[in-house]
Chains A and B, each alone.
Chain A
Amino acid sequence: MSDSNPIDFSAVPDNRGHFGPYGGRFVSETLMDALEELESLYNRLSADADFQAEFDRDLAHYVGRPSPLYLAERLTAKVGGAQIYLKREDLNHTGAHKVNNTIGQALLAKHMGKPRVIAETGAGQHGVATATVAARLGLKCQVYMGAEDVQRQSLNVYRMKLLGAEVIPVTSGSRTLKDAMNEAMRDWVTNVDDTFYIIGTVAGPHPYPKLVRDFQCVIGREARQQCLDQTGVLPDALVACVGGGSNAIGLFHPFLEDSAVQMYGVEAGGRGIETGQHAAPLCAGRPGVLHGNRTYLMEDDAGQIIETHSVSAGLDYPGVGPEHSWLKDIGRVNYVNITDDEALTAFRELTRIEGIMPALESSHAVAYGMKLAATMRQDQRIVINLSGRGDKDIHTVAGIDGISI
């Protein structure tokens, strides 16, 4: 990227939802009207001071924002390189960044007068965040979750039930997040009149990638100001995990025009890129069309979507938000990957060294952040987005340790 020809990051997506060649609105005709309605409502409300004030109020008093920016001194000392700051999205109400978005979309549902919300979920964090706002607003809530994920995230399944949501296990296809999204789309096509679909990530048909990004940008806006307040300068690098990519876009976007700030999106390397058993479309996939948008995908030579693998259910997805695809192509963000084993090691290290148990998704960012910091000077600073807390993963980690709890 050259400074003489800066990219206007606020100009994407265009009014048809395109980020360069990515994004767009690839859905069946029945949903077009609903998406146009959502788009025009969102365009109106995003410029409406009252709506923004309502959103900010909820983030402050219900979610507990701003989330801290924490200098992890013992981790920094252990790594022996750049100073490592953690953006503590794990401290949000419900334990992850997902609630920033569900608060925003639930407000949209309320403005549209829809009595029912649906969501897809992988790790269950988005499902929990959706069930939570639905409980608060008195909306009927159904959450689609791959049958495989229902097994490995049983704690979150029960949380959603306690919150009054119905969890529907999806048994088609690979029985994970992508199939949950297919099923949620089918529900929406059928119940489009009374239902708002709360998509959990910066993917899907326009305007979802844009509006989810806008709701999550509170992460980066806060982090940027907190860096300036605490250190007087911007950080040298940002690190966030990327499944669909909502926590990453939320952190990165407010820094995109700060060209000195390096950015690293960390995909799930699973058992290693070379094994094919991973969930890293930006590192090892190709552009295609799935779930309403054009983006990098994991597909075979015939254009069929292939099964992904990650120890973390929230990253186990064959696509990625279209804005990430664009940021990759223009070279603004570096996309890297971390294996299951590396993420598990980081999970244990952060827990033992800082007393902070990260979600397995966020552990991917922690693992890469530690590698990166080690290559940097001690007067440099990185911010790792600690997008969620790890309580939900205790069963998975215990299982890997051969312990049944």
Chain B
Amino acid sequence: MSRIQQCFENLRSEGRKALIPYVTAGDPDPSMTLPLMHALVEAGANIIELGIPFSDPMADGPVIQQAMERALLHHVSLRQVLDMVRAFREQDQTTPVVLMGYLNPVERMGYETFAREAADAGVDGVLTVDLPPEEADEVIGFFKQHDLDCIFLMSPTTTLDRARRICEQASGYVYYVSLKGVTGSSALDVTDVASKLEALRTVTDLPIGVGFGIRDGESAAAVGKVADGVVVGSVLVNKIATYASQPEQAREAIAATIRDMRQAMDQ
């Protein structure tokens, strides 16, 4: 059983939902990331989504764009991101780590090399924002070979028929984007999400994580009632922007947000 499966299994038996924070690797500088990952777990995170910096993050709003720009000032590369995961695994062998990013850096490294090195570093899954299943055959082959889960997005515009095809290719969990927009948007409608998830559950048994628009304990708890996992990104990354030159304050502010969400979700 993969670490991701095990994680959802454990949570289910405890009657809890996964809290899945996203942070951009190397933001605001490479030394921030490893202690931040451990702090996230300590504060109650179950899975970590680690963003691979990319120069042209088309699907992200200004908060995550700027995070990537900060990381790229330090030339944080995909190889360095893998090194961060490897370092994380020295202390933490149980928390799943999912890399999230865009295809070009992966393509540059080479699909096979990336899959092998990511698995070797202790990565559990990969979510490539600009890689729909239609273009993913070759990549998925290498991911499967190295036991990496391939996590796909679904959105309010995804038809049920398409969702079925996506879920045939997906493993680990699927990520439902709660609204039409980029990361950091704010107009989350939980009723809408609930009815969409109900439909999606007719085509898949995979756990469903929901992200976009989750800002605080209240929204996390509301989404947690209908989803298997709650993904939170921009609100955390914003703290790094606020405390860019004070890494400890940033880490503490992020941990506090995660603790609030954890508490609200577990009530």
**Which A residues form the contact surface with B (CB < 8 A)?**
16, 24-34, 172-173, 178-179, 182, 185-186, 189-193, 288-292, 297, 299, 301-306
Contacts and interface: CB of A to CB of B under 8 A. Distances in A.
B58 interface: yes
B180 A190 contact: yes
B102 to A, nearest CB: 8
Q: Top 3 closest A-B pairs, CB basis?
A: A303-B108, A303-B105, A302-B77
Contacts of A182: 56-58
Q: Is the interface of A mostly helix, strand, loop or mixed?
A: mixed
A33 B159 contact: yes
A218 B103 CA distance: 35
25 contacts: A25-B134, A26-B131, A27-B130, A29-B132, A29-B155, A29-B177, A30-B156, A32-B158, A34-B157, A172-B62, A173-B69, A179-B56, A182-B57, A186-B60, A190-B185, A192-B157, A288-B108, A291-B58, A292-B130, A301-B108, A303-B54, A304-B53, A304-B54, A304-B72, A306-B55
Given A27-B132, A288-B107, A302 B159 contact: no
Q: Is the interface of B mostly helix, strand, loop or mixed?
A: loop
B109 A303 contact: yes
B130 to A, nearest CB: 5
B157 A28 contact: no
B153 interface: yes
Given A25-B134, A32-B158, A303-B78, A192 B180 contact: yes
Given A182-B58, A189-B180, A304-B55, A26 B157 contact: no
Nearest to A297: B104
Contacts of A292: 130
Interface string B117-149: 000000000000111101100000000000000
Contacts of A299: 104, 108
Nearest to A27: B130
B238 interface: no
Interface of B: 53-62, 65, 69, 72, 75, 77-79, 102-109, 129-132, 134-135, 152-159, 162, 166, 177, 180-182, 185
Contacts of A34: 157
B56 A305 contact: yes
Nearest to B60: A186
A288 B106 CA distance: 10
B108 A32 contact: no
Given A26-B135, A30-B177, A193-B180, A302 B107 contact: no
A373 to B, nearest CB: 38
B186 to A, nearest CB: 11
Contacts of A303: 54, 78, 104-109
B58 A28 contact: yes
Contacts, number: 119
A28 B156 contact: no
Given A190-B181, A288-B108, A292-B130, A30 B155 contact: yes
B135 A25 contact: yes
B66 to A, nearest CB: 8
A189 B59 contact: yes
A64 to B, nearest CB: 36
A176 to B, nearest CB: 12
Nearest to A302: B77
B103 A289 contact: yes
A33 B55 contact: no
Given A32-B132, A173-B69, A304-B105, 10 more contacts: A28-B130, A29-B152, A172-B69, A178-B56, A185-B59, A186-B58, A189-B182, A192-B180, A302-B105, A303-B104
Contacts of A297: 104
Given A33-B159, A34-B157, A172-B62, A305 B185 contact: no
A185 B180 CA distance: 12
Contacts of B107: 288-289, 303
B129 A28 contact: yes
B78 A26 contact: no
B83 to A, nearest CB: 13
Given A30-B156, A192-B180, A299-B108, A24 B135 contact: yes
Given A29-B177, A172-B62, A186 B158 contact: no
A60 to B, nearest CB: 37
Given A29-B155, A30-B155, A172-B62, A288 B104 contact: yes
A175 to B, nearest CB: 12
Contacts of B129: 28
Question: Taking each of B57, B78, B109, B155, which has the highest tally of chain A beta carbons within 10 Å of its own beta carbon?
Answer: B155
B258 to A, nearest CB: 26
